[in-house]
A and B are shown apart, each in its own frame.
Chain A
Amino acid sequence: MTVLSFLDDFLEQVAAQFKEVLPATRKQLLVSSRDAILDNASRIDEWIVMSSTGQMSRKDLEWLVKANLDLAKMNRLESSGLSLARIDEMRGQITRTLISSLISSTGL
């Protein structure tokens, strides 16, 4: 087996792994973003009602809206951190695939 044919086989296996993982990640991201926007909108509506009925002050309302923005920052950090963790996980999978490909191609 030549290096080129080995690399072709190996990259095909890697591409198959990406094909499974990426659409699922994209769908998860879209669903969670949509849910977060809808949830935030309904929360802010509730706070406006609470503020107008005297259950909380205008200052409370402002603070909570800003807190929601900070929470969004936290969630963005979580998502981007998890993406990096997935990259590390895939790198681990690629290494395992590479080793098993090498073992089968060299007959070890």
Chain B
Amino acid sequence: MGLGQVLVILAFVCGCSPAIAPYSLQAYENAVDLKVDALRLMDQAELPYSENERRIQTLQTRMEKAFEFAKGRPKNEHSTEQWRIMNDPAAHLLGGFLRRWQTEGTLSRGFIVEAERIISRGFDSIIGLESGKVGSKNQIGK
């Protein structure tokens, strides 16, 4: 076999760009930190929204930053869409929960517990995708 043919085969196999962004430690940490903080804040939703407004706005800013970070990475459409749904006030995950809290003033304990369960799983889904990307095995747990 000639060297030229070998190089053509190698270039064909190695030259394709990846199908999805590789693992990012920062994206993983963003998701884990925000999950913990969001669930802790949601637990306060029996109290009036106005008493927690400052904390809620801080969390919303951090969520927007996480979305923008995901959006800025090439080939990262799946994670970006996950963050968009999580943050969207018109949807029914964290963004929607915070909007409902703002509209209603306070929320019932039964609803909070069930919403926390769903939103926690939403964050798990973001974390699961990030930790399943290529390169995660070398970095998680470091």
User: Are A55 and B81 in contact (CB-based, < 8 A)?
Assistant: no
A14 to chain B, nearest CB (A): 10
- Alpha-carbon distance between A102 and B108 when the two chains are bound, in angstroms: 65
User: Are A91 and B13 in contact (CB-based, < 8 A)?
Assistant: yes
- Alpha-carbon distance between A98 and B8 when the two chains are bound, in angstroms: 12
Residue of A at shortest CB range from B5? A3
A7 to chain B, nearest CB (A): 8
B4 to chain A, nearest CB (A): 10
User: Are B128 and A78 in contact (CB-based, < 8 A)?
Assistant: yes
- Interface residues of B, count at CB 8 A: 40
Task: Specify which of A64, A74, A77, A106 is in contact with B114 (CB 8 Å cutoff).
Answer: A64
User: Are B125 and A75 in contact (CB-based, < 8 A)?
Assistant: yes
User: Are B82 and A64 in contact (CB-based, < 8 A)?
Assistant: no
- Alpha-carbon distance between A25 and B57 when the two chains are bound, in angstroms: 41
B98-114 contacts to A, CB under 8 A, are 100, 107-108, 110-111, 114
Asked whether A88 and B108 contact (CB < 8 A) given A67-B93, A78-B82, A94-B13, the answer is no
Task: Specify which of A1, A2, A71, A84 is in contact with B78 (CB 8 Å cutoff).
Answer: A84
A60 at the interface (CB under 8 A from B): yes
Apart from A56-B108, A77-B78, A102-B9, what are 19 other A-B pairs with CB-CB below 8 Å? A50-B110, A60-B107, A60-B111, A63-B92, A63-B111, A64-B92, A64-B118, A67-B93, A67-B115, A67-B119, A71-B125, A81-B78, A81-B133, A84-B20, A85-B19, A85-B134, A91-B16, A94-B13, A106-B6
21 CB < 8 A contacts A-B: A43-B114, A50-B114, A63-B100, A67-B115, A68-B118, A70-B85, A70-B91, A70-B93, A74-B82, A74-B86, A80-B78, A81-B78, A81-B129, A85-B19, A85-B132, A88-B20, A94-B13, A98-B10, A98-B13, A102-B10, A106-B1
> Contact residues of B with A, CB < 8 Å?
1, 5-6, 9-10, 13-14, 16, 18-20, 22, 78-79, 81-82, 85-86, 91-93, 96, 100, 107-108, 110-111, 114-115, 118-119, 121-122, 125-126, 128-129, 132-134
